[in-house]
Amino acid sequence: MSDLEKATFAGGCFWCMVKPFDQWEGVESVISGYSGGNIENPTYEQVKSGTTGHYEVVQITYDPTKLSYETILNIYWQQIDPTDPDGQFHDRGSQYRTAIFYHTEEQRILAEKSKSELEKSGKFNRPIVTKILPAQPFYPAEEYHQDFYKKAPEKYLEDRKKSGRDEFISKHWESV
């Protein structure tokens, strides 16, 4: 068995970011949580207030012999609006901004390369504002947030539909 690696992404509401990664062979776990802020062990209520500096994130543990970091980056970009500096879809506020938190120098290089390629692709007519940041302490979210798409599938689908995320993804990535 190879060593597992971690990938951490902020892509707006973490409820919508788990399932896209959870479905891939090689993914061992996808944990919803918080990172990038200025207090330890924040609660959802604290993060939701927008005052802690944390992002809602997912932390993916994966087997790099089965799933490459480049593939994970491609999955990530196709879940977000990388041009929105103020949140994602109907979720507004600093906790819903996008970011790639790299765990190694290789991840940083690959993330920068993928961002540059996306900028050059012409797929978006506004600048790509997703930040690429060093990994920071990760705090798992409360248990009721974990695997939300499995625990409350109707609410999950309703929230996704209302958010505008699926429309955006279809418009910008349907040819992928």
In this structure, what is the dihedral angle of CA atoms 123, 128, 133, 138, given to the nearest 10 degrees? Answer: -70
Q: Tell me, what amino acid is at 75?
A: I
At 118-163, the pLDDT tens digits run: 999 999 999 999 999 999 999 999 999 999 999 999 999 998 889 9
pTM of the model: 0.95
Cβ contact 87:97 at 8 Å: yes
Q: Which domains does the chain have, with CATH numbers?
A: 5-168 (3.30.1060.10)
Q: What sign for the dihedral angle of Cα 82, 133, 13, 31?
A: positive
Average pLDDT over residues 20-26: 96
Instruction: Determine whether 16 is an active site residue.
Output: no
Q: Tell me, what amino acid is at 156?
A: Y
Residues across the chain: 176
* Active-site residue identified among 13, 60, 73, 110: 13
